[in-house]
Structure 1
Amino acid sequence: MSQFDQMSDAEIDDRFRISGGKPVAFLLAGYAKAREPFSVHFLHGEEMFLTTLLDVQVDQKRLVFDCSGSQEANRRILAAEKVRFSGRPGGVPVQFSSGAVSETTFEGGKALAVALPEYVVRLQRREYFRIETPRVNPLILFARMPDGGLLKLPAHDISVSGIGLDAPELPAGLEVGLVLPNCHFALPGESRELFFSATVRNFHQHTSRSGAVFWRIGLQFRDLPLGDENRIQRYITQIERGRQLA
């Protein structure tokens, strides 16, 4: 599963959301017409199978998709309270969520259906792709809070548009829309740091598999020079290449 697939609703910027009954139905109908493949995740993301979007039934406000080849998987997804779909039609990451699944038929065969989602998330620009940063010797971001306090937190992921941070506790005074001046961090192997200001875009509580509770904080770069964007892109490429060879 990609980093985008694992993003929660709280981590997703509003600018990537396509909402409204007609726009959502139109977009998904196009994917169904093209028989786009998607993965559907359920039972809190612990299970998934590959499927194909088949039809958007506007009058019933529902999306029809293909069953799994496993009857057991079909039985379990019918018991799920919520499902999440993710795919890359045309190479563009897309995801959306819906509620309970029901059985139906489509063109004479068995199929599954869910209510049309409230919105669909589609990342339209390549440069917003985020990648998880290494846990060993992580990037450390430094910034100043409005009260003058120092913020020093390890990075969780990064793109040329922003950075995600992990925090054991939510810093006092942190709120969405807050601008943090004088931010900086160093990329591995580089002596010259990147300096910028950043806007707090989101934060949410997260529980790890071990049960530890911490906070994820998303920052958007405000005035990062183009040259530094290129440095980050090279860093992302290096991480991807290293993981492919591992």
Structure 2
Amino acid sequence: MTQIAQLTEAEIDERFRIVGARPVAFLLAGFAKENDAFSVHFRDGDEMFLSTLLAADAERGRLIFDCSGSPETNRRFLACERSAFVGRPGGVLVQFHVGQAREILFGGSKAFIVPLPDSVIRLQRREHFRIETPRVNPLEFFGRMPDCGLLRLVVHDISVGGIGADTTVQPAGIETGLVLPNCHFSLPGDSRDMFFSATVRHVRELSSRAGTRLWRIGLQFNDLPTGDQTRIQRYIAKVERERHELI
């Protein structure tokens, strides 16, 4: 399954959020005209299919898009109350969420229809592309707290600008704006650690489907060398390439 990391509310800057029925419909109608592909993620990200947008209508408040090629996938998708669309039209990351779909006939073929999303996130090209890291043999982040305590976290997602990490126990003293001066981690198959300082950008409490509490901590790299940024870019490209080969 291809899993392009989806941004949390705490990570989204308002300048990247497009709101209002007409602006949202205009943007999505443009993607429909260009036949841009989107991955549709549902069942808490456990399932996905590829689709293209067919029409976006501000007056009727609706979005129409292609069904998947699998009747079973379509059946499970129609039972879900919420799903996420993720795409990269023109190389720019675009993401939005929609409510429950129903099936209609559009242009003589079956299609899905949902209420128009309230907003669309469209990152500028200068922003860092972020991916979820593999769950098997996950990356581990190590940092030193101001009181010299060791911080050890499992990396959830990564970009050349920073990481998102998870922990089931909230570390004492972790708060937005905190600077961790001595941090390091290594990429799979890489024998050399990356050393840097990091700033805590957000701390969010989440709940898993099993009801387990965890904390998502966003960390920004402050002084990562250019060479290490290149290594991360190559790692991201490798992970995405391997995931696309599984589709």
TM-score higher than 0.5: yes
Q: Distance in 1 between matches of 2:217 and 2:241?
A: 26
- Residues 33 and 219 of structure 1, relative CA distance in 2, 3 Å threshold: same
Map 1:62-211 to 2 at 5 A: 62-123=62-123, 124-125=125-126, 127-130=128-131, 132=133, 136=137, 138-145=139-146, 149-175=149-175, 177-187=176-186, 188-190=190-192, 193-207=194-208
The letter of the residue matching 1:9 is T
Cα–Cα, structure 1 residues 244 and 33, in superposed 2: closer, same or farther, change >3 Å?
Answer: closer
The alpha-carbon distance between structure 1 residues 48 and 197, as it changes in their structure 2 partners (threshold 3 A), is closer
For 1:83 and 1:125, the matched residues in 2 are separated by 27
CA RMSD of aligned residues (A): 3.5
- Identify the residue that residue 216 of structure 2 maps to in structure 1: 216
Quick one: percent identity of the two aligned structures?
A: 44
How many angstroms does 1:117 deviate by?
Answer: 1.3
TM-score by length of 2: 0.76
Distance 2:244 2:75 in 1: 35
- TM-score, reference length from structure 1: 0.76
- Is the 1:13–1:201 contact (alpha carbons within 8 Å) kept by the matching residues of 2? no
Return the letter of the residue paired with 1:7.
Answer: Q
Mind listing any 5+ residue stretches in structure 1 that lack a counterpart? Answer: none
Tell me, in whole angstroms, the C-alpha distance in 1 between the residues paired with 2:112 and 2:239: 38
Does the CA-based 8 Å contact 1:131-1:236 persist in structure 2?
A: no
Tell me how far 1:162 sits from its aligned partner.
Answer: 0.2
1 CA distance for matches of 2:78 and 2:234?
44
CA contact (8 A) 1:10 1:202 kept: no
1:43 is matched with: 43
Task: Report how far residue 90 of structure 1 moved.
Answer: 2.7
Moved more, 101-110 or 160-169: 101-110
2:172 is paired with a residue whose SS is: coil
Superimposed CA distance per residue, residues 189-238 of structure 1 (whole angstroms, 9 cap, x where no aligned partner) = 226x52223132343425388x7653332212234343443354355567
After superposition, the C-alpha distances for 1:10-63 in whole angstroms (9 at most, x for unaligned) are 464326842211332221111111122223233333443332210111101111
Q: Where does the alignment leave 5 or more consecutive residues of structure 2 unmatched?
A: none
Q: In structure 1, the residue corresponding to 2:171 is in which secondary structure?
A: coil
Whether contact under 8 Å (2:53, 2:66) holds in the other structure is: yes
Of residues 133-142 and 165-174 in structure 1, the stretch that sits farther from structure 2 once superposed is 133-142
User: Could you tell me whether the CA contact under 8 Å between 1:39 and 1:48 is conserved in 2?
Assistant: yes
SS in 2 for 1:121: strand
Q: How many pairs align? A: 241
